[in-house]
Structure 1
Amino acid sequence: MKIGVIIIIGSFLFMSCSSVKIVDSWKNEEVLFFKPNKLMVLGITPNLTARKIFEEELKNEFMKRNINAYVSGEALDTSFTDSQKTEEEIDTLVQKLSQKGFDAVVISAVKGIDEKRTYDRGYYTVGYSWRRFGRYYYTYQDIFYNPRYYNEYKIYHVETSIYNINEGENKSLVWVGSLDIIDPTTITTTVRDYVNAIIAKLIKDNIITEL
């Protein structure tokens, strides 16, 4: 094989997160050896800062494992990610990448976003502590008027897939993993946590080697 391309699609790259959880993964058992010789890391997002941080973080992780990696700016016209592309245009890109020595594509996409709300369990009491309506209402009305009582956050459901672009259709999908990015906070932390989770799972599934 000649290389890999990593594409991250979605707004989760705008932020950072406090937790990244691997939900599930699948490996193509027909692929006995996967060792790209040249890897391009590409983050598709209008947030230039997030894209650069992500690409550099992931590039460095692959380089540590002797995988020749490049960021997108070294191989693609920056205008490519400025607008939505047709399937034909993407196929043309794949052909150009193959001609440049790339042989694999890793695609990450946000499959959905859940908005969650939790509340402070400190208000909860067992039994019938308050026998008078007035006292009960006075005590628990803070639940409705205190914004700190509720904690709202988002969970980003992300799917990452690795494709071999130089093999037949039956062997094109090499690996796919589903992740949850929980409660994003800062770009740097989220990208680092996301990259670390992906790398750890790829090692566990014997797609890449451990240091």
Structure 2
Amino acid sequence: MKRFILVIIVIVLFSCNSTQLIETWKNPEVTTYEPSKVLVVGLTSNLEARRNFENQLKSELQLRGIEAISSLEIFKPEKMTENDLKTLENNLIDSGFDTILFSKIIGVEDKIVYKKNYDGYDETYSKFREDYLKYQDVYYNPDYYNEYTVYHAETALYCICPTKDRSLLWKGYIDIVEPESAERTITNYVNLVILALEQEQLINPELLINDPIDDELIN
């Protein structure tokens, strides 16, 4: 039921959006989770996009009472060995981190969508020339089809608690369709991840700050 509610909310908020939550997985052994200190990692070679993404996600987590740090504040964006990563994890634990939120692009796909008049694949033509005339413009006239790119992304929430097994808590698969604005895409992606984590009870909702005017009226 909870998954159904999440899907409905995502459809309503992002149906006109190029950023879509495709699938999620949650560790069945975890019902709720309250991270206290999170390392935010956005793996990309575009340093500016990484900084913007990590900072936006960091800010959203902080609004929910979670201490969050961008990976760029901890280590340089360079290739690391397995031993380097083990050392990093141990250093994070020693510094009080209990969670890592890791995002990355896992694939890119080019797609073609034909216009409605050329989507009758189940039609049967009795003559070759009818069939050929129907579809030749699909290949020779770009006005009859649309080409676009889909970026397949993934965000995972990992527990690195010192007293528990270091394990995967949640994973979300997100498609980004033909992004036109990097800034808008990052914002939409961050909002989608935060919404999903809230619905799965893996982070608390945004903290409500009392309006000072309301406080004066109450007093």
Fold equivalence (TM over 0.5): yes
2:93–2:162 contact (8 Å) kept in structure 1 = no
**Offset, 1:57:** 1.3
For normalisation by structure 1, the TM-score amounts to 0.74
1:201 is aligned to 2:200: no
Partner residue in 1 for 2:101: 106
CA distance in 1, matches of 2:162, 2:92: 14
Partner residue in 2 for 1:15: none
Q: Give runs of aligned pairs for residues 71-86 of structure 1, distance below 5 A.
A: 71-73=70-72, 75-77=73-75, 80-82=76-78, 84-86=79-81
For normalisation by structure 2, the TM-score amounts to 0.71
Which amino acid letter does the alignment assign opposite residue 65 of structure 1? Answer: R
CA distance in 1, matches of 2:171, 2:118: 42
2:31–2:201 contact (8 Å) kept in structure 1 = no
Structure 2 gaps, min length 5? 1-16, 207-219
Partner residue in 2 for 1:26: 25
Which amino acid letter does the alignment assign opposite residue 63 of structure 1? Answer: Q
Of residues 130, 148, 151 in structure 1, which corresponds to 2:146?
151
- RMSD of equivalent CA atoms: 3.0
Could you say which structure has the higher strand fraction?
1
Of residues 83, 91, 94 in structure 2, which corresponds to 1:96?
91
Give the number of the structure with larger relative contact order, counting CA–CA contacts within 8 Å between residues 6 or more apart.
1
CA change 1:31–1:142 in 2 (3 A) is closer
**Offset, 1:59:** 1.2
Comparing 59-68 with 171-180, which one deviates more in the overlay? 171-180
1:81 aligned counterpart, secondary structure: coil
Identity of aligned residues (%): 38
CA distance in 2, matches of 1:197, 1:165: 23
2:178 aligned counterpart, secondary structure: strand
